[in-house]
Amino acid sequence: MAETILVVNAGSSSIKFQLFAIGQGDQLDRRLKGQIEGIGTRPRLSARDANGASAVDESWSPDEVGELSDALDRLVVFLRNYVGRLPVAISHRVVHGGPDFVEPTTVTARIIDRLQRFIPFAPLHQPNNLAPMKIVLERQPQLLQVACFDTAFHRGHPEIADRYAIPENLYREGVRRYGFHGLSYEYIAMRLREVAPEIADGGVVAAHLGSGASMCALSAGKSIESTMGFTALDGLPMGTRPGQMDAGIVLYLINEKGMTTKEVEHFLYHDCGLKGLSGISNDVRDLLASSDPRAKLALDYFTYRIALFVGLLAAALGGIDGLVFTAGIGENAPGIRQAVSDRLSWLGIELSEMANRKNELRISSKRSRVACYVVPTDEELMIAKHTLGVLRKSTSEQLKEKRA
């Protein structure tokens, strides 16, 4: 039976997971993709195997699976029965690594303590990312755990790109621009070398468009600029987050509307973005299906801001060779891609109507001066690759110690 790596992405009431088998030559093969959702309300474990067949579909009462720890216990039991043994490593997606964490890191109690300092930087994600680490560390301390950071891919930015125009002491404390969705962009940069080598070493703008959305400027596969900054609120409008806005609005909400900081936090993370603009939904699919003019306004605003940021990132690159769409909206919404491209005709961007409608790999026309692609992202595979690297390095170091 092949050794496996479990990739975990924990939320407030769910655990998404994927299981990869380590094959010959360290080939990673996806064995399972699933989630435990509705923790504490309507808990349900479901997963599909590599062929798309159901591997498990089991539900429990809220009393049986009321906490994250209960859900992890159920997941462990299922994996032991399905695979025959525990994975050799568990890897965790962590949204914020702050200024210090620039590569995948072995999880220890000290590392968790350091990562907890960044909870104010990512209040929706960070606590949930760290919770399963703590539980596994308590119950299976011998099991290798690896933290992979959404910010790490962007940590090579030049200082001028990471700075805000604020005093030095705040920058030294970590108040700087980080960028997010780095695991997705890292995968895209790697994948471009296989599917679009003609642009992989050039200047590429990648647009990760999902419920959370951002864009990244890639130069020869390296991140040099991003639309997101200190937190995951900045840049593009998102499902429920506003994206770029005047900081004075926050002061107005506190001073004139009497909102507390907690109320402002909830407002910015839950009530803005496409949901706030449309008053209908945070889901692009709902907005595309709606005839309400507010839905059209929200989508027009979304594509307008994407096009604006293409210009900004192209300026950072000094020119653009390729535009890549990825993530849920980017991969599956031809209308959004077309609307963005129409706004970028000044760059010489032109899509093939048929290729775009079919979600093909290359969607630009032969006349387009900029190559446009749809590249499905795979953050979980990227995390598994990083974890395998840490595992192999750890094994090598242990062998050296034994020989010494």
Helix, strand, coil percentages (3-state) for the chain, rounded to 5, are: 45, 20, 35
Residue 77's pLDDT band (boundaries 50, 70, 90)?
confident
CATH of the domain at 28: 3.30.420.40
- What token pair was written down for 196? 């679009």
CA distance 71 to 38: 10
Does 243 lie in the same domain as 136?
Answer: no
Q: Is residue 88 part of a domain?
A: yes
Check residue 63 and give its pLDDT: 86
8 Å CB contact between 39 and 70: yes
Q: Which long-range contacts (CB under 8 A, 24 or more apart) does 361-367 make?
A: 361/195, 361/196, 362/196, 363/325, 363/337, 364/323
Does 210 lie in the same domain as 108?
Answer: no
pLDDT at 169 over 80: yes
Does 213 lie in the same domain as 136?
Answer: no
Does 229 lie in the same domain as 93?
Answer: no
Q: Is residue 252 part of a domain?
A: yes
pLDDT at 265 over 80: yes
Taking only the tens place, the pLDDT of each residue in 218-238 is 999 999 999 999 999 999 999
Query: Which run of H or of E encompasses 303?
Result: helix 293-317
Q: Is residue 278 part of a domain?
A: yes
Known catalytic residues are 150
pLDDT at 105 over 90: yes
Does 361 lie in the same domain as 220?
Answer: yes
Q: Is residue 301 part of a domain?
A: yes
Query: Which run of H or of E encompasses 388?
Result: helix 379-403
Does 205 lie in the same domain as 342?
Answer: yes
Distances (CA, A) of 298 to 24, 174, 240, 241: 49, 33, 12, 13
Check residue 123 and give its pLDDT: 86
pLDDT at 273 over 80: yes
Taking only the tens place, the pLDDT of each residue in 373-396 is 999 999 999 999 999 999 988 765
Q: How many CB atoms sit inside 10 A of residue 391's CB?
A: 20
Does 231 lie in the same domain as 87?
Answer: no
Q: How many CB atoms sit inside 10 A of residue 270's CB?
A: 15
How many domains is the chain partitioned into structurally? 2
Q: Is residue 161 part of a domain?
A: no
Distances (CA, A) of 47 to 82, 270, 378: 11, 28, 17
Does 100 lie in the same domain as 210?
Answer: no
Domain residue limits at 84: 4-149
Does 143 lie in the same domain as 246?
Answer: no
Q: Is residue 101 part of a domain?
A: yes
Mean pLDDT, all residues of the chain:
92
Does 35 lie in the same domain as 107?
Answer: yes
Mean pLDDT of 336-350: 97
Does 144 lie in the same domain as 55?
Answer: yes
Any residues with CB less than 8 A from the CB of 31 and at least 6 apart, and which?
4, 19, 20, 21, 49, 50, 83
Q: Is residue 154 part of a domain?
A: no
Residue 314 C-beta-side C-alpha neighbours within 13 Å:
18
